[in-house]
Copies of this chain bind each other. A is one copy, B any other.
Amino acid sequence: MQPDIPLMPGQLLARGVCRHLASHGFSVIEEFTPERGKRVDVMALGPKGEIWVVECKSSRADFMSDVKWQGYLDWCDRYFWAVDQEFPTDLLPEGTGLIIADAYDAEILRMAPEAKLAGARRNALIRRFAAHAAQRLQLLRDPDFGLGSS
């Protein structure tokens, strides 16, 4: 969509990440808000209901300026960084997953450790994911219908 707006470097990484995860049976949405004030680059819902979050960093500066990422750990079973091949991966904290991506595909280099969500939060997140995806889809299918927000 939005063919006239070039994607930013982080969005290109997100696209590749989404392609890779989708090819492994995950459903994905970009720029998902698990709660007010938090926005993750990619949220992925796996075939067994597992929830992964992937933050995409296009540069060292992009990573260093992120002061929010630890707040995302409470909203997923596994947390990953996605970076390109040039990224200095030594910077990335331990205890997180690592995905190498470009605009077209991605590969998981290091699986993130699992910290399972409680059932109630998982169900609430999946419901929010469902609502978010359906609302965005409706905006695209029926652009004349002005929803106040996505």
Contacts and interface: CB of A to CB of B under 8 A. Distances in A.
Interface of A: 1, 15, 18-19, 22, 27-30, 45, 49, 123, 126-127, 129-131, 133-138, 140-142, 145, 147
A27 to B, nearest CB: 4
Given A126-B126, A141-B1, A134 B45 contact: yes
Q: Copy number in this complex?
A: 2
Contacts of A29: 134, 137-138
19 contacts: A18-B145, A19-B142, A19-B145, A22-B138, A22-B145, A22-B147, A27-B130, A28-B134, A30-B141, A45-B127, A45-B130, A45-B131, A45-B134, A126-B130, A129-B130, A129-B134, A130-B133, A136-B137, A137-B140
